[in-house]
Amino acid sequence: MIAVSCGSPNRFPPLNKTPSDTLVVGVESASSFSKISRLIHRGLFRVNERFELVPDLIDSFEQPDLQHYIFHLKSGVLFHDGQNLTLDDVVYTLEKNRTEQSPWKKVLDKIDEIKIIDPQTFQISLKEPYMPFLASLTVGIVPKGRSPQIGTGNFAVEKVEADKVRLRRVARSESENHPPVSFLEFQVIPDDDLRLLALKNGRVDVLQNHIPPKLINTLRVEPFKIQTTDGSLVTYLSLNLEEIHLSKPDVRKAIAYALDIPAIIDEHLGGLAVPAQSLLPVAHWAFQSDVSTYPHTDQNLTASKVLLNRLGYFDADGDGPRPRFSLSLKTLAEKNSMGLARLIAKQLRVVGIDLKMVALEKELFLKDVLSGNFDLVLMEGPEEGADLSEPDFSKIFIILMGRVRMTRVMRR
């Protein structure tokens, strides 16, 4: 969603107007800074609008067999410090990411050998065939022996502070059809209300995601204009199939019938989402719309109860407090996630399933998720670092809920 200031400026008079050549973006936490790397660094490949892999820093490549790739590096590409991009930089980046802690380590560790054939050509040999391998080559290339903040992207790093990053434009993207700004500045403002106040007061120009719907609604007045666009983030329930109840397909189907996704979107997300059919965005090259869905109707709600009865999970007291059975639902100890968990529990209580919410801090939450220590867990995905160019990135049983629309609020 994009909200643009276009009316009288007197409704929210700016206390601090940002410079006209700078776009200031307010973000929730410093973890958002990792996404900025895409503006600074380019990879051998990039992902286009249909989530297809296309060459970026290479002209072309060949694949003689399932374990070997030959790449032809583009010539004349410069780093921000004016030095030429070379194969030494490429090899250094790949080796660094396969030996140190990196989101790419697991995949790049499948490399057996990197062999330079000539100054613009190199070969990668894998230990074994791995078809999604090319997706890992979107990792940003950094120069060997110089600062990793230096890249070949459209923006260069000008200043980095604990709660602020400032970038300087060095090139213009071919896809841009509007006058470019000279600088981008990202400021950390953890509190939702303070971020919104910073926008209204003119301290920041843009808020990127993590904006509660109730606060968004305060901007549906002049001088803000709001637009929406599709995003890739999906909210979903992950189910542990080793749990005695969830191991039964009809229990999982009963849960899917009982959930009222449109009501969740309206009540919890302020309408800023659409029911999800897949973890893949609609624009993705591998997206399929011909899938089974479980719409929430009176008939399906009845079917949910019938399925549970057939399995011997009787609701002895009807609308009374005694459940058919109980499950735990783990979620992050965050206001937004906990609110959604309570709403899900309320809907499942209608068919006699008791959900006990367990809210955890992020570190313990991720530990339990990765170890399978849960009955149900409320998730958002694809996870940070997942490459959507490769559709086979999820191997868990899930119940899809809503695809969150991309939220961007702007005052200019």
Q: Kindly write down the DSSP assignment for every residue of 188-245, as one continuous string.
A: E--SHHHHHHHHHTTS-SEEES---HHHHGGGSSTTEEEE-B--S-EEEEEE-TTSTT
Phi-psi region of 257 (alpha: psi -120 to 50; beta: other; left: phi over 0): alpha
- Return d(Cα 368, Cα 370) in angstroms, integer: 6
Model pLDDT, residue 58: 97
Max CA pair span of the chain: 77
Model pLDDT, residue 176: 52
pTM for the full predicted model: 0.71
Average pLDDT over residues 382-408: 51
* pLDDT surpasses 60 at 9: no
Q: Which CATH class is domain 2-37+153-227?
A: alpha beta
Predicted confidence band of residue 12 (pLDDT cuts 50, 70, 90) = very low
* pLDDT surpasses 50 at 263: yes
Predicted confidence band of residue 3 (pLDDT cuts 50, 70, 90) = very low
- Return d(Cα 319, Cα 302) in angstroms, integer: 14
Are residues 193 and 392 in contact, defined by beta-carbon separation less than 8 angstroms?
A: no
What are the pLDDT digits (tens) for 181-239?
899 999 999 888 888 888 888 888 887 666 776 677 777 776 666 667 766 678 888 89
* pLDDT surpasses 70 at 177: no
Higher pLDDT, 378 or 407: 378
Average pLDDT over the chain reads 83
Cα-flanking dihedrals φ and ψ of residue 243, to 5°? -70, 135
* pLDDT surpasses 60 at 14: no
Q: How many C-beta atoms lie closer than 10 Å to residue 170's C-beta?
A: 14
Cα angle, residue 380 at apex, residues 224 and 47 outer, rounded to 5°: 80
- Return d(Cα 61, Cα 133) in angstroms, integer: 13
Of all residues in the chain, the percent with pLDDT exceeding 90 is 48
Which strands, in side-by-side order, build the sheet including 58-65? 58-65, 68-73, 121-126, 111-118
- Return d(Cα 288, Cα 278) in angstroms, integer: 8
Closest Cα to residue 405, out of 259, 281, 245? 281
**On the CB side of 363, how many CA atoms lie within 13 Å of its CA?**
0
Model pLDDT, residue 5: 37
Is residue 155 packed enough to be buried (19+ CB in 10 Å), middle (13-18) or exposed (0-12)? buried
- Return d(Cα 56, Cα 141) in angstroms, integer: 11
What are the pLDDT digits (tens) for 15-70?
456 778 899 998 887 766 667 888 999 999 998 877 788 999 999 999 999 999 99
User: Would the CA dihedral through 282, 284, 290, 293 be positive or negative?
Assistant: negative
Model pLDDT, residue 204: 87
The two three-digit tokens of residue 58, written as one number:
């290479």
DSSP, res 392: -
Are residues 234 and 380 in contact, defined by beta-carbon separation less than 8 angstroms?
A: yes
Model pLDDT, residue 385: 43
Look up the CATH architecture of domain 42-138: Alpha-Beta Complex (3.90)
Range of lowest pLDDT (154-158, 218-222, 405-409): 405-409
The two three-digit tokens of residue 43, written as one number:
């990879």
Higher pLDDT, 386 or 25: 25
Q: Does residue 115 sit in helix, strand or coil?
A: strand
47 DSSP β-pair partners: 53
Closest Cα to residue 187, out of 336, 323, 23? 23
Range of lowest pLDDT (53-62, 159-168, 208-217, 393-402): 393-402
Range of lowest pLDDT (260-269, 288-297, 319-328): 288-297
First to last CA, the chain: 15
Q: How many C-beta atoms lie closer than 10 Å to residue 37's C-beta?
A: 16
Average pLDDT over residues 355-377: 92
* pLDDT surpasses 60 at 79: yes
Which helix (H) or strand (E) segment is 294 a member of? Answer: none
Q: Which CATH class is domain 234-405?
A: alpha beta
Predicted confidence band of residue 310 (pLDDT cuts 50, 70, 90) = very high
Model pLDDT, residue 300: 93
Model pLDDT, residue 210: 63
Q: Does residue 280 sit in helix, strand or coil?
A: coil
Q: Is the peptide bond between 223 and the residue preceding it cis, with omega within 30 degrees of 0?
A: yes
Average pLDDT over residues 93-121: 91
**On the CB side of 323, how many CA atoms lie within 13 Å of its CA?**
14
Spans of all domains in the chain: 2-37+153-227, 42-138, 234-405
Predicted confidence band of residue 403 (pLDDT cuts 50, 70, 90) = low
